[in-house]
A = this chain, B = another copy of it.
Amino acid sequence: MSLNEALKFAHTHRSRFVDQLGDLVKIPSVSTDPDCRTDVSVAAGWVAGYLERIGVKNVELYPPETHPIVYGELLDAGPEAPTVLIYGHYDVQPAEPLDKWVSDPFSPTVRGENLYGRGASDMKGNVMASLYAVEAALSAGPLPVNVKFMIEGQEEIGSPQLADFMRTHKDMLAADFCLNPDTGMLAPDIPTITYSLRGLAYFELRIYGPENDLHSGVFGGAVHNPAQVLSELIAGMHNAKGRVTLPGFYDDVRPLSKEERRELARLPFTDEQIVKNAGVPRLWGERDFTPIERLGARPTLEVNGLLSGFTGKGAKTVLPAYAMAKISCRLVPDQDSAAIERMFKAYLEANAPDTVRWELDAMTHSPASLSDRESPWIRAMMTAQEAAWGVRPLFKREGGSVPMVSDVKKILGIESVNVGCGLPDDNFHGPNEKLHLPTFHTFVDALIHLLYELKK
Contacts and interface: CB of A to CB of B under 8 A. Distances in A.
Interface stretch (A71-79, A131-139, A382-390, A428-436): A428-436
A100 interface: yes
Nearest to A357: B281
Interface in A351-384: 353-357, 363-364
Contact of A318 (B100, B237, B279, B304): B304
Contacts of A217: 198, 200, 330, 398-401
A294 B300 CA distance: 39
A159 to B, nearest CB: 12
A312 B32 contact: yes
Nearest to A292: B222
Interface residues of A, number: 102
Contacts of A220: 295, 300, 302, 330, 399
Copies in the complex: 2
Interface stretch (A61-69, A91-99, A105-113): A91-99
A103 B309 CA distance: 21
Contacts of A294: 221-222
A76 to B, nearest CB: 38
Contacts of A274: 219, 222-223
A188 interface: no
Nearest to A34: B313
A317 to B, nearest CB: 6
A2 interface: no
Contacts of A22: none
Given A306-B309, A307-B311, 5 more contacts: A214-B278, A222-B294, A280-B355, A281-B354, A304-B315
Interface of A: 32-34, 93-94, 96-97, 100, 156-158, 184, 198, 200, 202, 209-225, 227-228, 230-232, 234-238, 274, 277-286, 291, 294-295, 298, 300, 302-321, 323-326, 328, 330, 353-357, 363-364, 398-401, 424, 427-432
